[in-house]
A = this chain, B = another copy of it.
Amino acid sequence: MTKINILEKPKLKNPILLEGLPGVGNIGRVALGYLIKELKAKKFAELHSKHFFPFVILNKNYKIKLLKNEFYYWKAKKPTQRDLIFFVGDCQSLSPNGHYEVMETVLDFVEKLGVKEIFTLGGIAVGEIENKPKVYGAVTDESLLKKYKKTGIDFSAGEKVGYIVGAAGLLPGLGKERGMKGVCLLGETAGFPIVTDPKAGEIVLNKLTKILNIKVNMSKLDGRVKEMEKFIRKIEELQRKALMQINKEDSAPVLEKDQMRYIG
C-alpha cells in the first residue's frame, strides 16, 4: 500500500527526475527544498505509504499532517534547460523492504511522465573535511562518467564508502533496470546523520544547477535552510521518540520465573 494522489497532470517534455529525501546531513532535502521555492515549482502529486512511520505530525501545533513524499514540476524557460520533476518529502521507509516498494511505485509513476534520467542528491559523511568540501558522484553508465567528469564531480565515492542506502541509491539502481540513466550527487559533510549541513547542500546545489543550466540566487539559502531545518529536525526527533515508544511497547517488564504461566 503505497498510494500516489495526483493533484494535477502536467504535460512535460523529456523531464529529469530530481530526488532529495531526508538522509545524511539532509543535503538533498535542503538543496531541493530551496530550488523548489526559488524556481516556484508546482506540487502536482503526493505519496504516502504503509512503510512510513505510523503516526501523523502536528503542524503549527494543531494541524494533523500525514507523513508524505511530494512531487513538484517545473517547466524549462530556455532551450538549454529541461523540464524537471522534484521528488522530496518528510521521510523514507521504516522497514528495509519498504524502500524497494516505495521506489518501484515512484518509478512506475515517473516512467509514465516520460522520465529517462534521474539525479539523486545526498550526503557522504567523511568524519572530517580537510580542505574545501567536495561533491562526489556515482553513475549508472560509463557514458555519464565522461559527461560529468568535466564538471568537477569527484567520481571516487566508492573509496570513501561503497554503498548508498535508500532512495538516493535505489532510484538510479532500479531505474537502470527500466533503461533510465542515473546520477547520484553526494555532498561531503563532516557531520552526523541527524545534523543538517547547509554548506554541503550549497555545493551540491551549485553542481546541480550548473548541470541543469539554471541560475538560482543562493543568498537566501542560509535563512531558508534554518527554516527547513526546524521542520526536518522535528520529524527526526518525533521518529526517534516514536521508535522509543514502539520499542517500549514491545518490551515487557521482566516477570519472575514463577510468575510465568502461559498456555500453548
Instruction: Report which A residues bind B (CB closer than 8 A).
Output: 1, 3, 5, 23-25, 48-66, 93-101, 104, 122-127, 137-140, 142, 145, 155-166, 168-170, 172-174, 176-177, 182, 184, 186, 193, 234, 237-238, 240-255, 258, 260-264
Contact = CB atoms under 8 A, between A and B. Distances in A.
Oligomer copy total: 4
Given A96-B53, A158-B61, A242 B1 contact: no
B251 A161 contact: no
B56 A158 contact: no
Nearest to A27: B264
A9 to B, nearest CB: 18
B177 A264 contact: no
B263 A124 contact: yes
B245 A139 contact: no
Given A177-B66, A263-B157, A170 B56 contact: yes
B64 A169 contact: yes
B62 A158 contact: yes
A247 B158 CA distance: 22
B122 A263 contact: yes
Contact of A137 (B62, B161, B253, B262): B62
Given A55-B170, A63-B138, A186 B23 contact: no
Nearest to A57: B163
Nearest to A244: B252
A250 B243 CA distance: 7
B101 A1 contact: yes
A94 B157 CA distance: 25
Contacts of A245: 165, 262
A23 B264 contact: yes
B246 A163 contact: no
Nearest to A127: B258
Contact of A64 (B184, B246, B251): B184
